[in-house]
Amino acid sequence: MNGLMLVLFYLALFGLSSLMIFLAERQENRIVKGLLSIAAIAIPVALLSLRFSDTGDYNSYRRIANTVFLVPDVPSYLIENGIEPTFYLFSLLSQQLFGGWYGIFALYGAATVAVGFIAVRLWCPDKKYLWAFWLIWLLIVFPNSFNLLRQALAFNIVFVGLWWLYKNSDWKKALALVLVACFFHVSSIFFLPFFIVWWLRRTKNRQKTLAILIAVGVICVIVAAILALVWQQLPVKYTGYFTNENWRLGRTWFGLSRAILLAVVVGAFYVKRKKQPLTAAAYARKVEVPEVVLMATALACLFTLQLLPSPFSRIADFIWVFFFWWAFEVSQRLNLSSSGKRLLASAVLAVCVVMFIGVEYLYNYHGMFPYRLLLLEL
């Protein structure tokens, strides 16, 4: 299956999964609610489990899962291929349960979607909007699972950890989850700057601190982007100077600076607000205007991050979901009529759909097109 029909197929399945969540949250019977939730989760899991591809990361994972049991020195083989030990454990489980390599995608898919659903439930401020948060996750985060198998699971674990950090101020649980995520993909370590932002926002003058961090982060991103562009334009005889250890350390520093900016953006989204009721004028002054400005700033930063090299730019692929979650949440808190809130919320979801079509269908960034059934390829 390929083309526009496959786009409609994906969107229909995402919509059906979100509809099940919508119905589940309105059920009083726990058994019916549980069955609907399981069915909603099963749809994306089935998409990942039944897919076959012979290109990109899928082919690499298939090769490694097939050969990891044949090599005499497994640790050296994993290090050579840049694979964490958990991939070996998943491969072993796949062999035991499914009798082959193909189970690796079902196992990773089930774990990723399950942890992702937990993250969505935790971050959603009002369960009556859980269906929308889930739909946004399916459109923005889920496609990464098609080729970023390990990162998708690792980053969703990090999302759960960030909830413990920003919503419960439990840095120990959050740090433990980030460290666990590193065993699934080592790039999870670049989320550690979020802890710095969390600590800074606990100071008395949080807004000033965040503003300074945003400014510093933007400068770092601009400098990193300029250096990356200059490097690409240099003749080959000069690029050898950038392959030494110092340059790799420099790239690591730029990666950390981008991670800091992402941490600032997400941290700024959830700055604690006063609980006492505000008048209409105060509400507009203290909530609407600052958040709209911050939303525009975050959007500009994310677009900048997408232009930078991987693996750090991949973090932005996942962090987009926080922007859209926050945008949807803001649409429901603005001082608008009910129809205005529905219109704005629909616009946020429409942008997510357009972004999905652009990134996945036009660019095929995560290899979702074409969709080939695994059962027909074995």
- Look at residue 178 and tell me if it is in a domain: no
- Look at residue 227 and tell me if it is in a domain: yes
Q: What percent of the chain has pLDDT over 90?
A: 32
Q: Are residues 18 and 58 in the same domain?
A: yes
Q: Are residues 200 and 121 in the same domain?
A: no
- Look at residue 268 and tell me if it is in a domain: yes
Q: Are residues 224 and 362 in the same domain?
A: no
pLDDT, residue 27, reads: 92
Alpha-carbon Rg of the chain, whole angstroms? 22
Q: Which range has highest mean pLDDT (113-122, 189-198, 207-216)?
A: 113-122
Q: How many domains does the chain have?
A: 2
- Which stretch of 104-108, 208-212, 292-296, 317-321 has the lowest confidence by average pLDDT? 292-296
- Look at residue 329 and tell me if it is in a domain: no
pLDDT, residue 255, reads: 47
pLDDT in tens, 232-264: 565 554 444 444 444 444 444 444 444 555 555
Q: Are residues 214 and 143 in the same domain?
A: no
**Mean pLDDT, to the nearest integer, of 132-142?**
95
pLDDT in tens, 315-354: 777 888 888 888 888 788 777 788 988 988 898 899 889 8
Collapsing DSSP to helix, strand or coil, 254 comes out as helix
Evaluate if residue 46 carries a pLDDT over 80. yes
Among 297, 312, 327, which residue terminates a domain?
312
Q: Which stretches does DSSP call E strand in the chain?
A: 51-52, 372-373
Q: What percent of the chain has pLDDT over 70?
A: 69
Q: Are residues 148 and 5 in the same domain?
A: yes
- Look at residue 160 and tell me if it is in a domain: no
Report the C-alpha gap between 113 and 119 in whole angstroms.
Answer: 10
- Look at residue 173 and tell me if it is in a domain: no
Evaluate if residue 31 carries a pLDDT over 70. yes
Q: Are residues 340 and 252 in the same domain?
A: no
Among 312, 345, 369, which residue terminates a domain?
312
**Mean pLDDT, to the nearest integer, of 262-279?**
48
Instruction: Return all residues near 260 (Cβ < 8 A) that are at least 6 apart.
Output: 193, 196, 197, 213, 216, 217, 220
Collapsing DSSP to helix, strand or coil, 70 comes out as coil
Q: Which range has highest mean pLDDT (33-42, 70-79, 338-347, 362-371)?
A: 33-42
- Which stretch of 91-105, 281-295, 304-318 has the lowest confidence by average pLDDT? 281-295
Per the omega criterion (within 30 degrees of 0), is the bond before 370 cis? yes
Question: What are 356-360's contacts with CB under 8 Å, separation 24+?
Answer: 356/10, 356/11, 356/139, 356/140, 356/143, 357/7, 359/143, 360/7, 360/10, 360/143
* Domain encompassing residue 244: 192-312
Q: Are residues 239 and 108 in the same domain?
A: no
Instruction: Return all residues near 270 (Cβ < 8 A) that are at least 6 apart.
Output: 166, 167
| Residues 141/85, Cβ–Cβ less than 8 Å | no
- Look at residue 161 and tell me if it is in a domain: no
Q: Are residues 1 and 147 in the same domain?
A: yes
pLDDT, residue 43, reads: 97
At 288, the pLDDT band (50, 70, 90 cuts) reads very low
Q: Are residues 308 and 341 in the same domain?
A: no
Q: Are residues 82 and 145 in the same domain?
A: yes
Q: Are residues 306 and 354 in the same domain?
A: no
- Which stretch of 206-215, 224-233, 269-278 has the lowest confidence by average pLDDT? 269-278
- Look at residue 324 and tell me if it is in a domain: no
**Mean pLDDT, to the nearest integer, of 195-203?**
71
At 204, the pLDDT band (50, 70, 90 cuts) reads low
**Reported pTM:** 0.79
Q: Are residues 358 and 298 in the same domain?
A: no
Higher pLDDT, 376 or 268: 376
pLDDT, residue 282, reads: 47
pLDDT in tens, 167-183: 888 999 999 999 999 99
Q: Facing residues of 52 across strands?
A: 372
